[in-house]
Amino acid sequence: MGFATSYLQRHSYFGPFIPVPPRDSTSLIVVIPCYNEPGILDSIVSLYKAARPSFPVEVIVVVNSPLGTDRAAVLQNERTLHQVSRWSAQHSDPDFAVHAIDVPPFPVKHAGAGFARKTGMDEAAGRFDLLNNERGIIASFDADSTCDPNYFTELEKCFSDDRTNGCTVHFEHPLHHPGNPILNNPIVKYELYLRYFVEAMRYSGFPWSFHTIGSCFAVNSGVYARQGGMNRKKAGEDFYFLHKLFPLGNFTELNSTRVIPSARISDRLPFGTGAAMRRLLGTHGELPTYPPESFEELSDVFGAIEAFYRADDNAISDITGHFSPCMLEYLALKGFAEAVVQANNNSASPGAFRKRFFIWFNGLRILQYLNFARSHGRQDLPVSEAAGALLERKGLIPEKTETGLLFQYRTMQREKAWKC
């Protein structure tokens, strides 16, 4: 029995799709969910042209659709299977194998990026299981993304440290679209929105403040199996999956290479790049976001962790008495004092307590607080205003334009890799 056999038997929805075994030394598999994607070969060619690592690479294209998909999408999926198979035959390379797998239609209730990503990542885990390669790298990519030429070699360097459990990869959307200039301004706003949110999380003191983007992460295959694999959520699968890994530690940003996600408009998902672009184009307005004040209130809580360690009920009450009324109401609603007591009862050291604290006050609970504060009168701000205000709180001088702010955030977040 291999390292992932038990996981696959319990949690995988399909048997293996690829009949040929991987080459013995294969150590990196890229997974690409693909539904109704006429441009899939652009992504494959981008990966193909990237410098090769010291071991063979595979790419698994998960061609999928929900039950009842319209005929046009079904036909495009059939063309994709043919295109990818033909391209693979024409570019025969023992060190770069491309497999297109034809997945049975997903039930409508579960169909989406999560189920497709899970299917491909499970297939990758199974192939590494055949090799008993627990250190194999499973990289998550998208069918409308491309990458820098050093994508593979930098992933190899990152995972050459046996302690590395996973990484997120630096991303930059294309900001100029000569053929469709209407996209230029919305994508600047949206990427600034993503970067502001992560930077605000870091400002609050949250240790797991990583971007969670489906096309921009990679994980150790043994860790993938031990942590129960990818979920099948319709959207947000990347957020939930990665926040399951962060508490393990040994997770890092990989900023020495880059993924370039598409800035296209889409109506497939309720949120994400495509949905945000659609809303921005529809309103021609601002992109609102949570103000820095809400993150400062989180900072008050996270900055008191050392004081909460070994604190009794009276001490907890004294510490929280300095928090804002909105935060106090939220913490009482969520049973914060009881959670602190329980974390203390199960922690033999400050480090253990800190980990348990943030497993309770995790990324999802942070989002809940931000929305709670909004529902109690905290006004959103236009993203450019919020991004500028946060930089001022950090003692920096913000650029005056949205594009300038975005480049400022890109530089700031790329200069130093976030680790946990």
DSSP code, position 216: S
The token pair that represents 225 in the structure block: 């199996």
Average pLDDT on 50-77 reads 96
Q: How confident is the model at residue 176 (pLDDT cuts 50, 70, 90)?
A: confident
Predicted pLDDT of residue 181: 47
Residues 106 and 65 sit within 8 Å (Cβ to Cβ) = yes
Q: Which residue's structure tokens are 């056999």?
A: 5
Predicted pLDDT of residue 279: 55
Average pLDDT, the chain: 93
Ramachandran class of 415: left when φ > 0, alpha when ψ lies in -120 to 50, beta otherwise: alpha
Q: Is the pLDDT of residue 271 over 50?
A: no
Would you state the torsion angle of the CA atoms of residues 184, 187, 189, 191, taken in this order, to the nearest 10 degrees?
-140
CA 76 remoteness from chain centre: 27
* Residue 74 burial (10 A CB sphere; 0-12, 13-18, 19+): middle
The token pair that represents 384 in the structure block: 């450019």
Q: Is the pLDDT of residue 274 over 50?
A: no
Which residue has better confidence, 82 or 181?
82
Domain boundaries, the chain: 5-194+203-285, 292-375, 381-415
Report the distance separating Cα 294 and Cα 380, nearest Å.
Answer: 10
Average pLDDT on 398-413 reads 96
For the domain covering 5-194+203-285, report its CATH number.
Answer: 3.90.550.10
Q: Is the pLDDT of residue 278 over 50?
A: no
pTM for the model stands at 0.93
pLDDT in tens, 3-19: 999 999 999 999 899 99
Predicted pLDDT of residue 285: 67
**Rg of the Cα atoms in the chain:** 22
DSSP 223-271: HHHHTT-----SS-HHHHHHHHHGGG--EEEEEEEEEE-------SSSS
Predicted pLDDT of residue 270: 47
Q: Is the pLDDT of residue 113 over 50?
A: yes
CA 87 remoteness from chain centre: 29
Average pLDDT on 62-79 reads 94
Average pLDDT on 114-139 reads 97
Residues 190 and 109 sit within 8 Å (Cβ to Cβ) = no
pLDDT in tens, 318-366: 999 999 999 999 999 999 999 999 999 999 999 999 999 999 999 999 9
Percent of the chain with pLDDT over 70: 93
Average pLDDT on 265-270 reads 49
Predicted pLDDT of residue 309: 97
The token pair that represents 122 in the structure block: 């499970």
Which stretches of 49-141 are assigned E, i.e. beta strand?
Answer: 57-63, 96-102, 137-140
